[in-house]
Amino acid sequence: MIFSELYGAYYNVLAGILQIAVSSPPLTPEDLHRIVEERAFSESLWQLEALLKNERWPLLKTDGSTALKHPPTMPLTLLQKRWLKAISLDPRLKLFCDEPLDFPGIDPLFTAADVGCYDQCQDGDPYEDENYIQNFRQILDALHRRCPLRIHSLDAAGRKRYADVMPDHLEYSEKDDKFRLQCHRGRSSMTINLARIIRVSPSDREIQPSPGKLRLPKQGQVEFELIDHRDALERVLLHFAHLEKEVRKQDALHYVVRLSYDQQDETEILIRILSFGPMLKVISPPHFVDQIRERLRRQKERPL
């Protein structure tokens, strides 16, 4: 069972508290605050403080000592082992390690035959390709060590290029089944598709700004009216659920939705809005409306 106290925030907090009580007593209020902040929720502190103060659970005394003799640990549950076994079968695991771990006698929670995606793009990254794997691992290593890299790659037109960059993080798109490296190049940011990388090597260039301050892509906003026919409300809002949005109800059938998106993805957002047909009408920005009008005009002029 997934919804179990065994995996709960309070059990994790208690394990942290008891670890200090066993290994380096006494537990201070600062320890408690830190552990709760790291492992639990915004209202947990006062709830847990009250419970611990009353010695509600015969585990920890009010003086911070405990009857436990060992720092608390919990073996993996069967569910955890089954999930780990399942990801051992995923081809993307090779990006991280040569040999998957073995869990003898454990059935995987799922295999590729049990779960499938019906709308993923068919030109995903080559996870079995040795060069791709080597590049991926070098980038991941540089992310750990915060080291600059020189990356030789092909651009969209197939021309060879290289750049000295400071890796910031790897971005994975489930729709495209592709990894992209988000990195700093001088004061600007850069995105490199991993599948286009030819070679990765250490760079001796000093690159600013420091990792963790990647400039976010410029944001765009689009506002559209939604007409709730054919279950459009549910379909549209779920479809765009991964983006930041605000929805306002106008009446029983009409809603106004404002979506925020990365401006570099505007064409993708546009065709996704078009896919809902007359259930959506873009209100702003004007250039977005114009693009849709233009596509409709071109379509109307085609002799079908």
Which residues, 180 to 239, sit near another protein by CB under 8 A? 180, 182, 212, 216, 233-235, 237-239
Count of all residues that appear for the chain in the document: 304
To another protein, the closest distance from the beta carbon of 234 in angstroms equals 8
CA distances from 105 to 81, 91, 295 (A): 10, 21, 58
Give residue 103's Cα distance to chain centre: 27
3 contacts another protein (rule: CB under 8 A): yes
* Segment contacting another protein by CB under 8 A, of 11-19, 127-135, 157-165, 195-203: 11-19
Site for another protein in 106-125 (CB under 8 A): 107-110, 113-123
140: contact with another protein by CB under 8 A: yes
Instruction: Find out whether 61 and 52 touch, Cβ atoms under 8 Å.
Output: no
174 binds another protein (CB under 8 A): yes
Q: Does the footprint of another protein cover residue 296 (CB under 8 A)?
A: yes
**Structure tokens given for 252:** 């029983």
Q: Give the footprint of another protein on residues 16-55 (CB under 8 A).
A: 18, 38-39, 41-44, 47, 55
Q: Any contact of residue 78 with another protein (CB under 8 A)?
A: yes
Nearer residue to another protein within complex by CB, 199 or 249:
249
Query: How many whole angstroms separate alpha carbon 196 and alpha carbon 180?
Result: 10
Q: Report if residue 69 touches another protein, rule: CB under 8 A.
A: yes
Q: Number of C-alpha atoms within 13 angstroms, CB side, residue 254?
A: 5
For another protein, which is the closer residue by CB, 83 or 152?
83
Counting contacts by CB under 8 A, is residue 127 touching another protein? Answer: no
- Give me 204's structure tokens: 């001796």
Per-residue contact flags (x/-) with another protein for residues 260 to 289, judged by CB under 8 A: x-x--------xx-xxxxx--x-------x
248 binds another protein (CB under 8 A): yes
Structure tokens at 233: 């409300």
CA–CA dist 122, 303 (Å, integer) = 32
β partners of residue 154 = 160
Say whether residue 84 binds another protein (CB under 8 A). Answer: yes
As a whole number of angstroms, the distance between CA 84 and CA 108 comes to 8
Could you give the CA distance from residue 66 to residue 77 in angstroms, rounded to a whole number?
26
